[in-house]
């Protein structure tokens, strides 16, 4: 039973493929006039490649830890006390320790710096790749379960809650969400904004776990879960009724976190572009470049820490699917 449930989260990935795509796509509409033409032209790319970082997790060394930070692994209130800048962090902790507990917020800032450089070079491929990646990483640090060592409820007998909150709920219940977040704003100190996102997500963690316990007491096992066909397999999932009850109790939390992610992505893209000296993006549309499929070279999947609790077998099927889906759409002129 558990294996099938895990398989479902494997299909969906962090924030769920559905939510990551939605978040990246939606961020485009908050951009200022000087940017929105370029991003709208490439909106399918920005949307589809929102999940590339998850596809790289088992193929690229150093990728997995970019998606989370186990803030509570550093002790009480660590989320407020951890060094905000990577160099400061390296003065207190070894790089091995930092990476083993996740480098989410530092990586967000690092990716933003790379995006600024790509804008300066007017390197279309890099701008698109890094914009999509940055959207993914910003999305991840808004997920409460990406800020804790209890990332899949495995320490509190709530195994599977990761995919439930970030995949099942948005897929099932986000139809009526209002994703309007207003215009992108310049961030004076983006590294601190990334930490604010982590703090916000971490504060939401109590409700994520506690409410699931409360609702679970009201639902016997056979009502908590149901079966749905996924890719021809009869798969155990959290039931619609259980999902709705939980979602009601969370009182808009998933929607709020998705909206915060969307706004922050637009702010970061805009800030990177301003910091690069506001290059003329419309001129970059005149000579479309072809973007080729991203190829991951590996003989066997990396043995990285699982965030959604995939088994080895599922990991392999996940990778096979990744190859199938990882299409970098060539532009047509
Ligand atoms: Zn991720």
Q: What is the pLDDT of residues 247-267, one digit of tens each?
A: 999 999 999 999 999 999 999
Span 107-135, average pLDDT: 97
pLDDT tier for residue 301 given thresholds of 50, 70 and 90: low
Instruction: Find out whether 30 and 184 touch, Cβ atoms under 8 Å.
Output: yes
pLDDT single digits (tens) 22-55: 999 999 999 999 999 999 999 999 999 998 888 8
> 167 alpha carbon to ligand 1 midpoint, in Å?
12
User: What's the CA gap between 171 and 169, in Å, rounded?
Assistant: 5
> 144 alpha carbon to ligand 1 midpoint, in Å?
13
> 218 alpha carbon to ligand 1 midpoint, in Å?
32
Q: What Å distances lie between residue 127 and 89, 113, 169, 261, CA to CA?
A: 28, 11, 31, 19
pLDDT tier for residue 332 given thresholds of 50, 70 and 90: very low
User: What's the CA gap between 127 and 133, in Å, rounded?
Assistant: 10
> 150 alpha carbon to ligand 1 midpoint, in Å?
16
Tell me: pLDDT of 6 over 50: no
From 54, 11, 18, 19, select the one nearest 233 (Cα to Cα): 11
> 188 alpha carbon to ligand 1 midpoint, in Å?
26
> 62 alpha carbon to ligand 1 midpoint, in Å?
13
> 208 alpha carbon to ligand 1 midpoint, in Å?
18
> 169 alpha carbon to ligand 1 midpoint, in Å?
17
Structure tokens at 3: 């294996």
From 305, 301, 306, 308, select the one nearest 323 (Cα to Cα): 301
pLDDT single digits (tens) 265-284: 999 999 999 999 999 999 99
> 57 alpha carbon to ligand 1 midpoint, in Å?
8
> 54 alpha carbon to ligand 1 midpoint, in Å?
5
> 89 alpha carbon to ligand 1 midpoint, in Å?
22
């Amino acid at each position: 039973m558990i294996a099938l449930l895990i398989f479902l989260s494997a299909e969906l990935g962090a924030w769920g493929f559905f939510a990551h795509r939605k978040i990246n796509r939606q961020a485009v509409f908050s951009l200022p006039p000087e940017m929105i033409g370029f991003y709208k032209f490439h909106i399918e790319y920005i949307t589809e490649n929102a999940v590339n970082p998850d596809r790289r997790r088992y193929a690229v060394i150093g990728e997995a830890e970019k998606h989370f930070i186990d803030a509570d692994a550093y002790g009480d209130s660590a989320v407020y006390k951890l060094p905000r800048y990577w160099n400061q962090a390296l003065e207190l902790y070894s790089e091995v320790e930092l990476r083993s507990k996740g480098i989410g917020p530092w990586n967000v800032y690092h990716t933003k710096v790379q995006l600024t450089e790509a804008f300066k070079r007017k390197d279309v491929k890099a701008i698109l790749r890094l914009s999509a990646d940055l959207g993914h990483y910003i999305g991840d640090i808004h997920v409460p379960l990406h800020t804790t060592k209890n990332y899949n409820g495995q320490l509190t007998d709530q195994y599977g809650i990761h995919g439930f909150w970030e995949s099942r709920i948005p897929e099932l219940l986000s139809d009526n969400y209002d994703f309007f977040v207003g215009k992108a704003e310049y961030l004076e100190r983006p590294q601190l904004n990334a930490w604010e996102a982590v703090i916000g997500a971490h504060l939401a963690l109590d409700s994520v776990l506690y409410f699931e316990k409360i609702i679970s007491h009201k639902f016997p096992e056979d009502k908590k879960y149901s079966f749905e066909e996924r890719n021809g397999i009869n798969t155990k999932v959290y039931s619609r009724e259980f999902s709705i009850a939980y979602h009601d109790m969370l009182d808009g939390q998933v929607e709020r976190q998705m909206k915060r992610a969307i706004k922050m992505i637009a702010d970061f893209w805009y800030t990177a572009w301003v910091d690069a000296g506001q290059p003329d993006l419309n001129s970059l549309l005149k000579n479309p470049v072809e973007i080729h499929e991203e190829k991951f070279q590996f003989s066997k999947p990396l043995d990285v820490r699982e965030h959604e609790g995939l088994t080895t077998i599922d990991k392999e099927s996940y990778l096979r699917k990744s190859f199938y889906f990882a299409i970098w759409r060539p532009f047509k002129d």
